[in-house]
Chains A and B, each alone.
Chain A
């Protein structure tokens, strides 16, 4: 059983964060981020060509996290690989000790930097979860027996602020039925809204980690409100960022993130948090420290 799975199965407040592999093969910065966060969290997500922008692969990043003594959570999207390639990569991941997988549909190719590429989507996120269940039972998707059975801790995502929400919730329930053991949510900022979501989600046997995306400026918050589906930053937080002294918006964002994490933990709103400090991974230990989270 993976360390992350053990944490999920315990009563502890689970903390994960994410790192984004580089565009190219200079891994120094990624290694540096892993070094900074690995002893503070229960798992490190490695993003999979995030936003459809070509990067060093998530599987490669996950292996590096593993080699460095961290606990990787492999993000797998259905955008770039068909069911044969996905299963093969799962075999490889398992053989190298990468056993936590977050299953995602993946963004549309056209939002990324290779707009003319072919989007695959042979499977969807629910089918990928079901695929992992299938290979964990000893056969591949075509029903052929496997020589050696991989076992994974598998998870998925949900967008609690999606509009409309109801179709998302149907899919959320299908993900749980397909075997999701943990859910990392899209960024949430309005804790009252999130409490309402959790009142509903608590009926399911799945661990839910609240998505915390670090706000670095009021402009970023406004941009996300305008452009990123399923993210809603309340006006009060935007004003708090606007009110920060010049050059101190990031510090304010760090304090907002820490305050939210502290509330989620102390009020037992969710089972943990998933911290996404996109491009600012070095501040994650400080966020966790301010939130009163001790090392993982």
Chain B
């Protein structure tokens, strides 16, 4: 599972850094590199575009991961080009942007929009696989998540908008419940689909998500 990102329109990026003259660009060696939105190549292209737009690019960096303390180490190693920049343009997911904001102590601007947690299918096609709802129902749905894959997150079967296995919202999205039906039928487990599913608890993961696992770790260590 990785964080799927998409580059913002250049106009929007330039608007967000309109007051800034000099820019340091940070990419990400993991998810954004795999998505081809924030790897070495994309960072170089962005640097060129910013220069064309009249900005001074003081430096660029693509840390192995944009979302951990490596960003801070990178910041110390690249102290001078960073110090000369008015803003850090971050070509990673929102996690990387927030990490840069807290560790580099500079104003930041995201160059990417974070879309979803997903998997890569054939030829650069990505699809969402988990919404982190905190109440996994996959045992009842053949390992296909209706909360994520069904546009409406329906728990008790398909709506009337499904057609020949496709979802009414279009763009090639498949009907989750047709997929679930097919898999459960093949497994001889359609009884799982016949069972009433009560409304989800949106209190299962109170947003913003936060959990203290130290107690359970101590318990595990004792055993």
Contacts and interface: CB of A to CB of B under 8 A. Distances in A.
A106 B153 CA distance: 12
Interface string B160-183: 111111011100000001101100
B158 A171 contact: yes
Given A166-B181, A167-B178, A127 B161 contact: no
A127 B181 contact: no
Contact of A127 (B167, B169, B177, B199): B199
A127 B159 contact: no
A83 B160 contact: no
Interface in A111-149: 111, 119, 121-127, 130, 141
B181 A126 contact: no
B13 interface: no
B193 interface: yes
B198 interface: yes
B160 A229 contact: yes
Given A111-B169, A126-B156, A174 B194 contact: yes
Interface in A225-243: 229-230
Contacts, number: 95
A168 interface: yes
A229 B160 CA distance: 7
Interface size class of B (residues with CB under 8 A): 20 to 34
Nearest to A131: B199
Interface stretch (A91-99, A155-163, A192-200): A155-163
Nearest to A123: B199
Interface string B187-222: 000100110111100100000000000000000000
A173 B161 contact: no
A174 B156 contact: yes
A163 B194 contact: no
A177 B196 contact: yes
Contact of B157 (A157, A168, A229): A168
Nearest to A83: B199
A105 interface: yes
Contact of B199 (A106, A107, A122, A166): A122
A108 B151 contact: yes
- Main secondary structure on B side of the interface with A: loop
Interface residues of A, number: 36
Contact of B160 (A119, A130, A159): A159
B156 A171 contact: yes
B169 A108 contact: yes
Contacts of A126: 156-157, 196
A135 to B, nearest CB: 14
B156 A108 contact: no
B154 interface: yes
B155 interface: yes
Given A110-B169, A174-B157, A167 B152 contact: no
B69 to A, nearest CB: 35
Contact of A167 (B151, B158, B168, B199): B158
A121 B198 CA distance: 13
Given A121-B152, A173-B194, A105 B199 contact: no
B199 A141 contact: yes
A1 interface: no
B185 to A, nearest CB: 8
B169 A170 contact: no
Contact of B181 (A110, A164, A174): A164
Contacts of B198: 127, 130
B181 A170 contact: yes
B155 A186 contact: no
A186 B75 CA distance: 61
B158 A168 contact: yes
A130 B196 contact: yes
A162 B162 contact: yes
Which residue, A167, A168, A186, has most C-beta atoms of chain B within 10 A? A167
B135 to A, nearest CB: 14
Which residue, A157, A159, A171, A230, has most C-beta atoms of chain B within 10 A? A171
A166 B180 CA distance: 12
16 contacts: A108-B152, A108-B168, A122-B202, A124-B152, A126-B156, A126-B196, A127-B199, A130-B196, A162-B163, A163-B164, A167-B157, A167-B158, A168-B157, A170-B193, A173-B194, A229-B168
Given A111-B161, A159-B160, 13 more contacts: A78-B152, A105-B154, A108-B168, A121-B152, A124-B152, A124-B155, A126-B156, A166-B181, A167-B180, A170-B194, A171-B158, A229-B160, A229-B162
